[in-house]
Amino acid sequence: MTEVHVEVSGEMDPPLLLNEKRQFPRLSDLPSYVPDPKQFFYTHKQNVRSWFVFFQTSNFKAPPSIPRLGKRIMRNIEYFQSNYVFIFLGLVIYCLITSPLILFAVAGTFYLGYQLNRRQQEKKLTIFGKELTIAEQYGLVALCSLPVYYLVGAHAAMFWVIGASVVVITIHAAVYNIEAISTREDDEFGLLQQV
pTM: 0.64
Taking the C-alpha atoms of residue 159 and residue 169, their distance in angstroms, rounded to an integer, is 15
Percentage of the residues of the chain whose pLDDT score is greater than 70:
82
Q: Identify the segments of the chain with pLDDT beneath 50.
A: 185-186, 188-195
Give 126-178 pLDDT, tens digit per residue. 778 788 787 888 888 899 999 999 999 989 999 999 999 999 999 999 999 88
pLDDT of residue 2: 79
Where does residue 107 fall: left (phi above 0), alpha (psi -120 to 50 degrees), or beta otherwise? Answer: alpha
pLDDT of residue 171: 94
How many C-beta atoms surround the C-beta of residue 140 within 10 A?
16
User: Cα dist. 11→8, 14, 19, 26, 57 in Å?
Assistant: 10, 10, 24, 35, 63
Taking the C-alpha atoms of residue 73 and residue 179, their distance in angstroms, rounded to an integer, is 11
